[in-house]
Structure 1
């Protein structure tokens, strides 16, 4: 028995530390403080019934999903405040998942913001303003210590499809400006709700409302997840080309490449994108084939994503049911 235990321990050591990184748009986690930036339906004790009881239900439901993912590092979108983030962190601890480290990025006059929870130490954190307009959310960067090795994680929440592609390109350019400051051997992961399909360069071409950039997209052209001939970057081509990035959606079957639904159609708006340094055979590496969409049955209702439920009948109110209009995604990385 002792020999088997020693062999198992040796195999674990040889395989190295494994880290799960996830991204989740939680859909409007607001606190109970009235700051003046709330959406109408989330004004505390307002006409929509955003009460402490409903707030606690939203916290529990959100924590249940995050607990199910079991990520070591998770980027979050649509968190109103640091107060809401700390309440979520406390709820997760009550449910058995403790994140010692966290960082929150609040933009000026922004209603919802980005955040990150981590079981590994955060060495430093920055927020990168895209614009001083409240139309744009800051990009959050966290430099995380993975057993002595640094990993940069960028949490994004780009402008929604209510705006044209030029607005998302502005976010992409701000992100690229920071990425270009990193050396080629510094690994980074881009996560979040980019409000951009992994093949946006194909899906938005016929949309006059979105295509105001003559076919150029932020996620594909600016971040270079496609090559100069318009072909998606593969894991193999990432290893051979330093200037490109790899979108992990290509790791799973095409019918599952979506995390959000719009008018019944699936969209891959949430993305995890990796740098060449995570596929060079040194230090921290992406575990090829490990990318997954977190999609247990309870996150669906009548064939649709079981989003947070609100009654549109008079009086409009929260029902205290559901989770989010986005599905989480995650991937594994190994030393």
Structure 2
């Protein structure tokens, strides 16, 4: 079984709901038209088809309409997802979703708070050949804001994880806007570090130990209260899915608990985690993001894919 995560970069439908980014308001000078929408759907569907995941978490989907249109386009390209879940956050321009080839028993959305400032976390309970696994699709606050905002997301997620039955299998995935070693990378930034060195992804989710050492796969096998970030299965030079000012960041993550490494039921296949990085997803060494003109009047060019690379991992049933 292949599980993946992909930030598709701004998949907006053709309805004017009043919450769109300026460049995605339909039929303005920006040129977000039905034809442009179809191109974006086709490009996004091609990537998802080529990943070939059984379950894929998606970020930056505007609406359930956009998700259904994407699902239909993926089907046209030869990959069928019978099941889906979507979490619409009030006043949010973009949201999180999940497509699955396995039945979704239930889906919940968990508001971080009720201000509308944070995107809801999507939880889908999936039936895999009689066994269940909880998928949590995340899109935490961006680094335009301080770490305290991502801390709030992590605390809400952890609160739900603690409610699950002991050793219940789950997978955390999505765009956490956090590096797998955020506790190292954000320390020197006054803008980010307003939490006295505490990070959501590392300290709250316990992907590091009490001595600030990363949780290893071997540690995970012995411990029921830590989590393992699958980026550590890759060589260091490949541990990035997004570029910021020319520097690689691993903002997208897949994180697993002891239950997926204990030799029972559904198991992570160690060493199977990969970044999906075919040549067509790159432009001059950078992720081939969805393009708009640099000259005025600015407009969509109908080229590119996303500013994030997808990630995936294999699991044994």
| TM bucket normalised to smaller | over 0.9
Separation in structure 1 between the aligned mates of residue 115 and residue 33 of structure 2, nearest angstrom:
30
Separation in structure 1 between the aligned mates of residue 281 and residue 167 of structure 2, nearest angstrom:
38
CA-to-aligned-CA distance 1:99-137 (integer Å, 9 cap, x gap): 000010000111000000000000000000002233210
Separation in structure 2 between the aligned mates of residue 231 and residue 242 of structure 1, nearest angstrom:
17
Shift of 1:57: 0.2
Q: Is residue 255 of structure 2 the alignment partner of residue 273 of structure 1?
A: yes
Name the counterpart of 2:265: 283
Name the counterpart of 1:46: 28
Contact 2:86 2:96 in 1 (8 A): yes
Bigger Rg, structure 1 or 2: 1
CA-to-aligned-CA distance 1:77-99 (integer Å, 9 cap, x gap): 00000000000000000000000
Residue ranges of structure 1 left out of the alignment (5+ in a row): 1-18
CA-to-aligned-CA distance 1:126-154 (integer Å, 9 cap, x gap): 00000223321000000000000000000
Contact 1:184 1:277 in 2 (8 A): no
| 1:311 alignment partner, SS class | coil
Q: Is residue 267 of structure 2 the alignment partner of residue 318 of structure 1?
A: no
Question: For 1:86, which of 65, 68, 71 is the aligned residue?
Answer: 68
Separation in structure 2 between the aligned mates of residue 239 and residue 59 of structure 1, nearest angstrom:
40
TM-score, normalised with respect to structure 1: 0.94
Separation in structure 2 between the aligned mates of residue 235 and residue 256 of structure 1, nearest angstrom:
18
Separation in structure 2 between the aligned mates of residue 22 and residue 304 of structure 1, nearest angstrom:
21
Shift of 1:35: 0.5
Following superposition, which runs of at least 4 residues in structure 1 exceed 3 angstroms of deviation? none
Question: For 2:205, which of 219, 223, 233 is the aligned residue?
Answer: 223
Contact 2:230 2:254 in 1 (8 A): yes
Shift of 1:46: 1.2
Separation in structure 2 between the aligned mates of residue 20 and residue 328 of structure 1, nearest angstrom:
13
Name the counterpart of 2:128: 146
Contact 2:180 2:201 in 1 (8 A): yes
| 1:134 alignment partner, SS class | coil
Mapping for residues 231-246 of structure 1, pairs under 5 Å:
231-246=213-228
| 2:96 alignment partner, SS class | strand
Separation in structure 2 between the aligned mates of residue 253 and residue 135 of structure 1, nearest angstrom:
36
Measured on the aligned residues, the alpha-carbon RMSD in Å equals: 0.6
Aligned residue-pair number: 317
Shift of 1:47: 1.9
| 1:202 alignment partner, SS class | helix
Separation in structure 1 between the aligned mates of residue 292 and residue 246 of structure 2, nearest angstrom:
18
Separation in structure 1 between the aligned mates of residue 73 and residue 297 of structure 2, nearest angstrom:
30
Contact 1:34 1:43 in 2 (8 A): yes
Separation in structure 2 between the aligned mates of residue 217 and residue 291 of structure 1, nearest angstrom:
23
Contact 2:167 2:224 in 1 (8 A): no
Name the counterpart of 2:185: 203
Question: For 1:252, which of 204, 221, 234 is the aligned residue?
Answer: 234
